């Protein structure tokens, strides 16, 4: 029952937030996680940083998805691909990099969706306290924050959900 509730939360968040756009395709790359954990700045002008979490175990999972969409579960993280987001069958993998940040690397690198997919990152064991809500961020190949994606945070579910339009590495940040 708990997994079903989580799936419903992710799916409903994804469909509320998403708009249709984009195209697909890409080639693999990896992001080292011995990364610079600061960015040039957010909308307020202050530096952003990845959220500190308890040590995560490394884990990889993959599945083939096509035009009908589906859900890829990697640990407690979920990628929801809506119907019509892909035009052909694609092998998709997600890797949790064992570190003290909530970070998931998706392959194939650069894959673009015709409709945004929903990403829910597990925030269990992460230091998410204070007045600001965290967001999901897209990291470049040096591990620097290059795009902040407005997200929905659920303290009750310990997840942060946002729409994504392409693949790369994603993490939780302030």
Looking up residue 101, the CATH number of its domain turns out to be 2.60.220.30
Measuring CA to CA, which residue among 80, 72, 73, 67 is closest to residue 17? 80
Bridge partners (DSSP) listed for residue 117:
164
Count the domains in the chain: 1
* Chain segment 64-115, per-residue pLDDT in tens: 999 999 999 999 999 999 999 999 999 999 999 888 999 999 999 889 999 9
* Chain segment 110-166, per-residue pLDDT in tens: 899 999 999 999 999 999 877 778 999 998 878 889 899 999 999 888 999 999 999
> What SS3 state is found at 5?
helix
Which domain covers residue 148, as residue numbers?
Answer: 2-173
């Amino acid at each position: 029952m708990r997994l079903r509730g989580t799936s419903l939360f992710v799916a409903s968040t994804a469909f509320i937030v998403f708009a249709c756009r984009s195209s697909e395709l890409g080639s693999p790359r990896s992001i080292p996680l011995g990364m610079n954990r600061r960015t040039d700045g957010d909308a307020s002008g202050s530096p952003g940083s990845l959220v500190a979490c308890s040590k995560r175990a490394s884990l990889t999972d993959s599945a083939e998805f096509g035009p009908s969409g589906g859900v890829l579960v990697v640990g407690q993280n979920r990628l929801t691909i809506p119907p019509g987001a892909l035009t052909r069958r694609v092998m998709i993998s997600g890797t949790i990099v064992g570190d003290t940040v909530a970070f998931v690397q998706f392959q194939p690198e650069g894959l673009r969706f015709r409709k945004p997919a929903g990403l829910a990152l597990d925030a269990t064991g992460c230091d998410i306290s204070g007045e600001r809500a965290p967001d999901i961020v897209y990291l470049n190949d040096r591990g620097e924050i290059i795009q902040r994606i407005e997200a929905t945070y659920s303290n009750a579910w310990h997840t942060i959900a946002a729409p994504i339009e392409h693949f790369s590495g994603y993490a939780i940040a302030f």
